[in-house]
Structure formats: structure tokens, C-alpha cells
């Protein structure tokens, strides 16, 4: 079962620093978009080539959001997402990290996962609990710490 892993803010890694990386998506590596434009594809910064593609509802590229850096803004109400169809649940163990800021807590705020529930799915429950599931199985809690809205978090699970 995955566990939470603390990470020091002074520790910065690139995809080239870590062997076996299956995907690394950085908002500041997105090129050719202006503020508020739709992200229809997102290139993988690792050497694995697991680029993200967009279904019908896509997130937006926002500039100068976190300390001058851009973000990919996802809106749950619009079921926005990007897919990495080449990453499968069989690629376990997996370490997942994301910087998130929730604007509301509703059931199943997916941070990372497949559109049909197969594979790995990381979500924030309506209670604020971080949880995961594999291949549509029951969700398992990852932490007793509850996430709250309008607060930035670095979420790391391994």
C-alpha cells in the first residue's frame, strides 16, 4: 500500500536525476500557450515519452500563479483532465507527486488517474482525505491529515 513521504522544499530534482521515471509533467515546460489558453497536450519531461493527451474537457494554462510560475488549472465541475494512457497499474511501485490547491471538496476530486477508473487513481474525498485505488477496487486512505480548500499542498505518495 502506498504511504505518504515528506519532501523538503530545498530538494529539487529533474527527470534526469531519477532513474526509471515514467512521467514528469511540469507546467513551466508547456510552450506556445498564452494565459488562459486550453492545454490539449502536455509533453513528458522525462525520457519515457508518456505524453498527456486531452479528452473533450481540457484544463487551462495560467501564467504567474505560484511564485511567478505557471500552472495547469483543472476544474472538477467541467470534469477536466489529461490522460497518460501508456502508464498502467502494472507499473507498480510508483511514486506520485503533485502541487494542488482545492477550491472545493466534493466526492472524488481526482488528482491523477484514468478516465474509466482502471489503473491507478489518486483522489481527495469529500472529507479532505487523500486516497487511492487500483483498477476500480475500493479506495484506501493514504493519510490521516485532511486537506482543506484554498491551501497549497505538495502531495507525494510512494
DSSP secondary structure, 54-116, as one string: --SS--EEEEEEETTEEEEE--GGGT---B-TT--TTS-S--EEEEEE-S---TTEEEE--TT
How far CA 72 is from CA of 22, 57, 69, 106, 149, in Å, comes to: 20, 13, 10, 20, 18
What tens-digit pLDDT sequence spans the chain (158 residues)?
444 444 444 456 676 677 777 788 888 889 899 999 998 888 888 878 888 877 767 888 999 988 899 988 877 655 666 666 666 655 566 677 778 887 777 766 777 766 565 667 777 888 888 887 777 778 888 777 888 888 888 877 76
Q: How many CB atoms lie within 10 A of CB 65?
A: 16
Rounded Cα distance between 146 and 129, Å, is 5
Cβ-based neighbours of 32, under 8 Å, separated by 6 or more: none
The verdict on pTM exceeding 0.85 is no
Q: How many CB atoms lie within 10 A of CB 40?
A: 13
Q: What is the pLDDT of residue 8?
A: 47
Amino acid at each position: 500500500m502506498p504511504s505518504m513521504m515528506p519532501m523538503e522544499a530545498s530538494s529539487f530534482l529533474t527527470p534526469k536525476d531519477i532513474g526509471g521515471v515514467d512521467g514528469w509533467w511540469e507546467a513551466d515546460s508547456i510552450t506556445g500557450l498564452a494565459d488562459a489558453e486550453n492545454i490539449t497536450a502536455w509533453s513528458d519531461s522525462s525520457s519515457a515519452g508518456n505524453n498527456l493527451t486531452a479528452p473533450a474537457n481540457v484544463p487551462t494554462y495560467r501564467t504567474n500563479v505560484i511564485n511567478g510560475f505557471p500552472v495547469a488549472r483543472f476544474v472538477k465541475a467541467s470534469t477536466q483532465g489529461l490522460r497518460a494512457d501508456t502508464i498502467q497499474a502494472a507499473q507498480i511501485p510508483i511514486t506520485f507527486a503533485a502541487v494542488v490547491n482545492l477550491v472545493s471538496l466534493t466526492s472524488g476530486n481526482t488528482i491523477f488517474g484514468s478516465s474509466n477508473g482502471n489503473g491507478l487513481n489518486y483522489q481527495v474525498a469529500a472529507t479532505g482525505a487523500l486516497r487511492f485505488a487500483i483498477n476500480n477496487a475500493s479506495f484506501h486512505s493514504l493519510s490521516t491529515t485532511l486537506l482543506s480548500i484554498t491551501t497549497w499542498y505538495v502531495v507525494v505518495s510512494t
